[in-house]
Amino acid sequence: DETVDPGTRINTGMSERMTTISGTLEATPRGPLLHADDGLCWRVRTRDPIDTLPSPATIRGRLLDPGTIEAEYLQTSPSAAQPADNA
pLDDT band at 52 (very low <50, low <70, confident <90, very high): confident
- As a whole number, mean pLDDT of residues 44-71 equals 89
Mean pLDDT of 52-72: 91
- Give pLDDT, residue 85: 54
Q: Does a cis peptide bond (omega within 30 degrees of 0) precede residue 6?
A: no
| Res 79: pLDDT | 39
Full-model pTM: 0.67
CA angle centred on 36, ends 31 and 37, rounded to 5°: 155
**7 vs 12, 53, 70, CA distance in Å?**
15, 45, 28
Confidence of residue 17 (pLDDT cuts 50, 70, 90): confident
Q: CA–CA separation, 80 vs 18, rounded Å?
A: 22
